[in-house]
Amino acid sequence: MQARGLVKRYGRITAVDHVDLTVSRGDVYGYLGPNGAGKTTSLRMLLGLIGPDGGSAQLFGRDPLVEGVRALDGVAGFVEAPRFYPYLSGRRNLELVAALDGDGAAGRIDAALDTVDLADRARDKVGGYSHGMRQRLGIAGALLRDPRLLLLDEPATGLDPAGMRDMRRLVHRLAAQGMTVLLSSHLMAEVEELCNRVAIVSDGRVRYEGSLHELLETTAGRYELRTTDDARASEIAGGLAGLSAVAPAPTGSGIAFSAAEQVVPVLSLALAEAGIGISALVPRTATLEELFFRMTEGGEARPAEIAAPDETAAADAGDTSTSPAEHAQVRT
């Protein structure tokens, strides 16, 4: 899947501003950004649910605006929240979804329920499901299509810690089976644990796209130090060649600095010669959350109205009367 130069405007507001994305086979790809950053709008354009004002999108080499539903062959998932009939069982809801899909989907219901750990609740009414169970049922509905690419838009939003843990385990299992997953989220810890590649978007623009490991490695060479005399240790560190960015540690205790690995023993010896004891000296790589805030904050504040109409539609999520055919799951 790829997007090149995607643009979407709503009046004077540019919700998506020349976005480029490349999701390769086998990726667990994190599409990361704050609420209202343009993630959902981008996904809708990728799926052909709305047309772009510029640029193009392809799914397995097919443009959904040119080939229509045929471009969605091998693609499934949900944009925003999955919807089901609350007065029907989980299994019956899936049977209705399978009837829309055809192509052997009904024969995959049991396997899908097993995959999302809902087999023992399949005969219960969806109205009695927890939020996390409904999210997993949405994934089960997507799995009926036997997809090669699974798109999940904020699947862990609103979940309690146990629900988030279950969702992470599920995504891990699907990825281990060789499925390509595009995970849109504003939860950095979730993305850092699950994904191998990421795109960070803010104000409708991509700030970074590439390997998550390589992004985190850009902060290598940073250390935190706690001693018996931090003030004196800071002076010594600041006077050594090869050390830089000496400052109080973010934790509020000790100092932080940047240095090549071979310089660190020199600092240790200098501190020992000065009679300063070392309580802790640890390498520190920035978290994805820290890098995210560096990339998305500090600029001009985004106007509140930047959220496109489709991104504010979640306000009616409590209307559970919507049918499986009408909710935002990707279907052909």
Examine the domain organization and report whether 155 and 74 are in the same domain.
yes
324 assigned to some structural domain: no
Regarding predicted confidence, which is higher, 260 or 319? Answer: 260
Give the pLDDT of residue 82: 86
Residue 84 structure tokens: 């089901």
pLDDT for the residue 326: 40
Do 208 and 119 share a structural domain? yes
When pLDDT is averaged across residues 7-31 and rounded to a whole number, the result is: 93
Please name which of 179, 142, 59 lies closest in space to residue 331, comparing C-alpha atoms: 142
Calculate the alpha carbon distances from 315 to 80, 84, 163, 171, 312 in Å: 11, 17, 21, 26, 6
3-class DSSP state of 57: strand
Residue 300 confidence class, pLDDT cut points 50, 70, 90: very low
Compute the average pLDDT of residues 120-125. Answer: 96
Calculate Rg over the CA atoms of the chain.
24
| pLDDT at residue number 119 | 94
- The whole-angstrom separation of Cα 298 and Cα 119 is 47
20 or 317: whose pLDDT is higher?
20
306 and 173 co-located in one domain: yes
Most confident of 185-189, 253-257, 290-294: 253-257
Count of the separate structural domains present in the chain: 2
CB 248 within 8 A of CB 227: no
Q: Residue 251: give the domain boundaries.
A: 221-283
Which is more confidently placed, 313 or 214?
214
The string of pLDDT tens digits covering residues 89-113 is: 999 999 999 998 777 899 999 999 9
pLDDT over threshold 80, residue 322: no
In sequence order, which residues have a C-beta less than 8 Å from that of residue 102 and are 6 or more positions away? none
Per residue in 219-278, pLDDT (tens digit) is 778 889 999 999 999 999 999 988 888 888 877 789 988 888 889 999 999 999 999 999
- Specify the CATH number for the domain of residue 261: 3.30.70
Q: Is the pLDDT of residue 11 over 70?
A: yes
Residues 189 and 255 in one domain: no
Average pLDDT of the residues in 47-74: 90
Residue 288 maps to a domain: no
For position 298, what pLDDT does the model report? 52
